[in-house]
């Protein structure tokens, strides 16, 4: 991972059981998407898996390798409210933001 780059968290959750698979990858690109798809197939070898995709260029690449039984579920353009990952990120930002705000206030009081 290059200097100043932020790793990309990839999370897959089964809606019925709540089991999850989490990866911290160096970036968002087609190579990393392929790693995620291979990992999902390894984790749930017998399951049919739908992967929700936003409009990222890596999701539209011709070099994405879709393992058997894993299907892309593309979202309509400009629809973050339909993307489950966006809802998780929104919640984390809110929680992390509150914690950071409290820490800053406590440091100022010292």
pLDDT at 69 over 90: yes
Tell me how many domains the chain contains. 2
Using only C-alpha atoms, what is the Rg of the chain?
17
User: What pLDDT is stored for residue 30 in this prediction?
Assistant: 86
Do 97 and 61 lie in one domain? The reply is no
Q: Measure the CA–CA gap between 59 and 61, rounded to whole angstroms.
A: 6
Do 62 and 85 lie in one domain? The reply is no
DSSP 80-106: GGG-HHHHHHHHHHHHHHHHHHHHHHH
pTM metric for this prediction? 0.65
Do 109 and 66 lie in one domain? The reply is no
Do 95 and 110 lie in one domain? The reply is yes
Structural domain harbouring 19: 1-74
Do 90 and 59 lie in one domain? The reply is no
User: What pLDDT is stored for residue 35 in this prediction?
Assistant: 92
User: Which tens digit of pLDDT belongs to each residue from 5-57?
Assistant: 566 777 777 777 878 788 888 878 888 889 999 999 999 999 899 888 877 76
């Amino acid at each position: 991972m290059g200097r100043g780059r932020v790793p990309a968290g990839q999370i897959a959750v089964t809606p019925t059981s709540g089991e999850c698979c989490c990866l911290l990858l160096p970036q968002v690109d087609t190579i990393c998407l392929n790693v995620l798809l291979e990992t999902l197939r390894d984790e749930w070898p017998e399951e049919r898996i739908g992967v929700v995709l936003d409009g990222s260029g890596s999701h539209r690449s011709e070099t994405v390798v879709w393992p058997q039984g894993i299907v892309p579920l593309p979202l309509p353009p400009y629809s973050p409210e339909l993307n489950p990952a966006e809802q998780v990120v929104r919640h984390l930002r809110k929680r992390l933001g509150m914690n950071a705000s409290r820490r800053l206030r406590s440091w100022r009081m010292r």
